[in-house]
Amino acid sequence: MRQVLATIAVAFTLSLASSVSAQSLTVGFSQIGSESGWRAAETTVTKQEAEKRGITLKFADAQQKQENQIKAVRGFIAQGVSAILIAPVVATGWDAVLKEAKEEKIPVILLDRQIDAPDSLYLTAVTSDQVHEGKVAGDWLVKDVGSKDCKVVELQGTTGSSPAINRKKGFEEAIASHANIKIVRSQTGDFTRTKGKEVMESFIKAEGGGKGICAVYAHNDDMAVGAIQAIKEAGLKPGTDIKVVSIDAVPDIFKAMAAGEANATVELTPNMAGPAFDILAAYLKDKKEPKKWVQTESKLYTAKDDPMKVYEAKKGLGY
Amino acid sequence: MQTTPISAALTRKLRRLGPQLAALFAILALITLISPGFLSITVQNGRLYGSLIDVLVRAAPVALLTIGMTLVIATRGIDLSIGAVIAICGAVAASLVADGYPLVAVLVAVTAVGLVCGLWNAVLVAFLDIQPIIATLILMVAGRGIAQLITEGVILTFNNDDFADIGSGALFGIPVPVLLWLATGLLVGLLVRRTALGFLIEATGINRRAAMLAGVQARFLLIFVYAVSGVMAAIAGLIITADIRGADANNAGLWLELDAILAVVIGGTSLNGGRFSITASLIGALIIQSINTGILVSGFPPEFNLIIKASIIIVVLTLQSPALGFIGGFLRPPGNAGQPIGKASAEPRAGEKAGTTRTDRAPTTFSTQERTS
């Protein structure tokens, strides 16, 4: 439903990147839509990266619908673009259109998500590793608490969603060999601020006013922002009394970090297109097939990384 | 009705609310068994603090929506748009606050936006005679889009402690959201029950045509109930937005209309319209929130959340089922038989013989020939 609603919100846009240089590449980009701030940032960054390289970007917003994406890809093929980027909305149903692209010898690069299709049909997939993201967050906590005992409460993403499952798994792997760190409570906060706050409130009450809790691990920054408010309202200091570590690196968490209320966040980079364009340039130059999966960096940010500067840099990306 | 002794009226009221109160206390007792300390309330930073207080605070949005929804359902309508209206009002509130408008102006503007949304539904239902479920579905779908246009797709945050107090502040130690829903409930309750409004709403819900022939301004009443529903959504939107200091157009109020409908049904008001009880619906909202908070403090894995919630609600509704009414009939005082099949409430009929308090004042002439249209 949310996707349908988002669809209505977003007027259909088909924009062309402004800079056109004579011998430049033309690349088609079929984006899912703009259902989240991160998605909007990915679109902005993709346009920026294309402009930086003098690539003409043909952008199509699929408004959460695969048929729109397939239509857009066929359109790109008809226009004879040099390459196509797809951020696939679903994993299945891509074989036919990818074969058409292959017949026309147009390389296809997947962004952000994998698909269920023979990997000969696309050049490569540029995605993050969600398990690794959870692990980076867990490793930070392991290092930060040292040998002290630490009771962690976990705010999970939407139950059953792949980021929730994978980010939980990665974090658990990181703390598995450290008996001093234990997850004492884990509930879903549905990736939202409201639920993050509500769940954190109940965690604090259930754990004796929050004094026993040493850290909160949230599967995304929005829930962490909600949890920070809950901690403050319970009369505790987020970042000090209860450490806050989360994933995504959206601008608002850097504001909290600058205020000392959040400790660490792991970036899910919106820059998937940059590596994709680099791979494409290398491929077009010497026709050597790249690896089928390129993992983006899951960068850890802490208070040492000048959070206000990161905030200012990220603010304009459309998060 | 002034002749009815107060104690008798009170007894009747308790009978009406009996099943809901019993369910609420049973759920609270169950949670306390699983997680002792659930009932403990302390004063911290000059305000009441505890899980029970959380239930009251977190119930605020659904409780407010329930007030409007009860009236709408009593006219045999339904309002699916309120979740989206919350998103619109939240977006408007956050953008105005962020632009530095004074608090009073923001409150007035947001209430007006909620009112306009309600009136939009009312026009579709009352004048164009579109079925309420379809009429309000339009705004349900479009509303979240409008909200996203206002927030431009981002979570619109602001820094304003005065406005944030609506969501997380306290007055005399009592959290503001609790005061808001209690006061609003009392106000609307008095308005419909101390005037003829409630009686006329019930008449409209039971048989709009008959009510109109009898001289009831059914159109005006429909406009009134949808407008109230819109304003309630606006207040709920203010609370939700103030609580997280930001407007999240995607998630604010998402699916809350369904929780509100559920609260009304748990409260024993029939979806077929007619007799209603705002108090019972509010208890219904508390039941839902008790379950939600109970699940959070109990420490079950989140995979069980929905199953637990559904199971408890099935039990509550089964206990109210008219088909089971004959079992209860043995336990109730005489004069209790004849529960009409198809009425989704366990309202004890015993009190109806006196039939003169306001809650029981459903026009019997209508109810015998009810639901013909």
Could you report the per-residue pLDDT of A302-315, keeping only the tens digit for each?
999 999 999 999 98
Q: Is the dihedral of CA A115, A118, A121, A127 positive or negative?
A: positive
Per-residue confidence (pLDDT) for residue A102, from 0 to 100: 94
| Distance of alpha carbon A41 from alpha carbon A48, whole angstroms | 10
B46 and chain A in contact, CB less than 8 A: no
Residue A36 has pLDDT above 80, yes or no: no
Angle among Cα B343, B346, B347 to the nearest 5 degrees reads 95
- Check whether residue A139 and residue A242 sit in a common domain: yes
- Check whether residue A123 and residue A166 sit in a common domain: no
Q: Looking at residue A115, which CATH number applies to its domain?
A: 3.40.50.2300
A233 and chain B in contact, CB less than 8 A: yes
- The residues near A285 (Cβ < 8 Å, ≥ 6 apart) are none
* Sheet hosting strand A215-218, strand order edge to edge: A181-188, A150-156, A215-218, A243-248, A264-267, A300-302
Helix/strand/coil (H, E, C) string of B122-142? HHHHHHCCCCHHHHHHHHHHH
How many structural domains is chain A composed of?
A: 2
Per-residue confidence (pLDDT) for residue A254, from 0 to 100: 95
Per-residue confidence (pLDDT) for residue B250, from 0 to 100: 87
Per-residue confidence (pLDDT) for residue B326, from 0 to 100: 63
Tokens describing residue B53: 């207080």
- Check whether residue A9 and residue A103 sit in a common domain: yes
Verify whether the Cβ–Cβ distance A156 to B302 is below 8 Å: yes
Q: Block means of pLDDT (10 residues each) for chain B, length 373 residues?
A: 69 86 94 90 86 95 97 96 97 95 96 97 96 96 93 87 93 95 97 95 95 94 97 97 92 94 94 94 96 91 91 88 67 49 42 40 40 38
How many structural domains is chain B composed of?
A: 1
Work out the widest C-alpha separation in chain B, in whole angstroms. 64
Quote the domain boundaries for residue B197: 6-368
Mean pLDDT of A233-260: 94
In eight-state DSSP terms, residue A16 is B
Inter-CA distances, B123 with B42, B86, B127, B230, Å:
48, 20, 5, 13
Verify whether the Cβ–Cβ distance B144 to A188 is below 8 Å: no
B254 and chain A in contact, CB less than 8 A: yes
Per-residue confidence (pLDDT) for residue A34, from 0 to 100: 74
Helices B218-244/B176-193 angle, 10° precision: 170
Residue A210 has pLDDT above 80, yes or no: yes
Per-residue confidence (pLDDT) for residue B317, from 0 to 100: 87
Which neighbouring-strand residues pair with A56?
A: A26
| Phi, psi (deg, nearest 5) at residue A104 | -85, 5
Residue of B nearest to A197 (CA): B244
- Check whether residue A115 and residue A202 sit in a common domain: no
| Cβ–Cβ < 8 Å for B129, B77 | no
Q: Three-state DSSP class for A298? A: coil
Per-residue confidence (pLDDT) for residue B332, from 0 to 100: 56
- Check whether residue A124 and residue A138 sit in a common domain: no
| Cβ–Cβ < 8 Å for A30, A60 | yes
- The better pLDDT of the pair B159, A172 is held by A172
| Cβ–Cβ < 8 Å for B273, B206 | yes
By CB neighbour count within 10 A (0-12 exposed, 13-18 middle, 19+ buried), where does B364 fall? exposed
Among the residues of chain B, which ranges form H helices?
6-34, 51-58, 60-74, 82-98, 103-122, 132-151, 161-168, 176-193, 197-206, 208-213, 218-244, 256-266, 278-298, 305-320, 325-331, 364-368
DSSP per residue, A89-133: SSSSS-HHHHHHHHHTT--EEEESS--SS-GGGSSEEEE--HHHH
Amino acid identity of A6?
A: A
- Check whether residue A12 and residue A35 sit in a common domain: yes
Among candidates B35, B54, B157 on the partner chain, residue whose Cβ is nearest the Cβ of A252: B157
Contacts 24+ apart (CB under 8 A), A285-289: A289/A123
Verify whether the Cβ–Cβ distance B153 to A9 is below 8 Å: yes
- Check whether residue A66 and residue A77 sit in a common domain: yes
Radius of gyration over alpha carbons of chain B, in Å? Answer: 21
Taking CB atoms and an 8 Å cut-off, how many pairs form between chains A and B?
103
Condensed to tens digits (0 to 9), the pLDDT of residues A176-192 reads 999 999 999 999 999 99
Per-residue confidence (pLDDT) for residue B346, from 0 to 100: 42
Per-residue confidence (pLDDT) for residue A157, from 0 to 100: 93
Per-residue confidence (pLDDT) for residue B331, from 0 to 100: 57
Q: Which helix (H) or strand (E) holds B48?
A: strand B47-49
Among candidates A8, A9, A201 on the partner chain, residue whose Cβ is nearest the Cβ of B54: A201
| Cβ–Cβ < 8 Å for B297, B38 | yes
Mean pLDDT of A276-285: 92
Point out the least confidently predicted range of A110-114, A283-287, B316-320: B316-320
- Check whether residue A149 and residue A63 sit in a common domain: no
Quote the domain boundaries for residue A257: 130-268
Residue B75 falls inside a structural domain: yes
Residue A198 has pLDDT above 60, yes or no: yes
pTM of the model: 0.84
Residue linked to tokens 């819900």: B205
Separation in Å, CA of A194 to nearest CA in chain B? 6
A193 and chain B in contact, CB less than 8 A: yes
Per-residue confidence (pLDDT) for residue A2, from 0 to 100: 52
Residue A6 has pLDDT above 80, yes or no: no
Residue A296 falls inside a structural domain: no
| Distance of alpha carbon B96 from alpha carbon B160, whole angstroms | 11
Inter-CA distances, B351 with B10, B12, B78, B268, B333, Å:
11, 6, 28, 16, 10
A9 and chain B in contact, CB less than 8 A: yes
Q: Looking at residue B257, which CATH number applies to its domain?
A: 1.10.3470
- Check whether residue A187 and residue A143 sit in a common domain: yes
- Residues in B closer than 8 angstroms to A233, CB to CB, are 168
Per-residue confidence (pLDDT) for residue B152, from 0 to 100: 84
**ipTM value:** 0.82
Q: Is the dihedral of CA B144, A266, A160, A296 positive or negative?
A: positive
Residue B373 falls inside a structural domain: no
Condensed to tens digits (0 to 9), the pLDDT of residues A116-150 reads 999 899 999 999 999 999 999 999 999 999 999 99
Residue A109 has pLDDT above 60, yes or no: yes
- Check whether residue A262 and residue A278 sit in a common domain: no
Q: Report the candidate in B315, B290, B302 with the shortest Cα–Cα distance to residue B35.
A: B290
In eight-state DSSP terms, residue A297 is P
| Cβ–Cβ < 8 Å for A109, A272 | no
Q: Is the dihedral of CA B328, B332, B334, B339 positive or negative?
A: negative
Per-residue confidence (pLDDT) for residue B334, from 0 to 100: 53
- Check whether residue A108 and residue A154 sit in a common domain: no
Separation in Å, CA of B134 to nearest CA in chain A? 16
Separation in Å, CA of A5 to nearest CA in chain B? 6
- Check whether residue A251 and residue A283 sit in a common domain: no
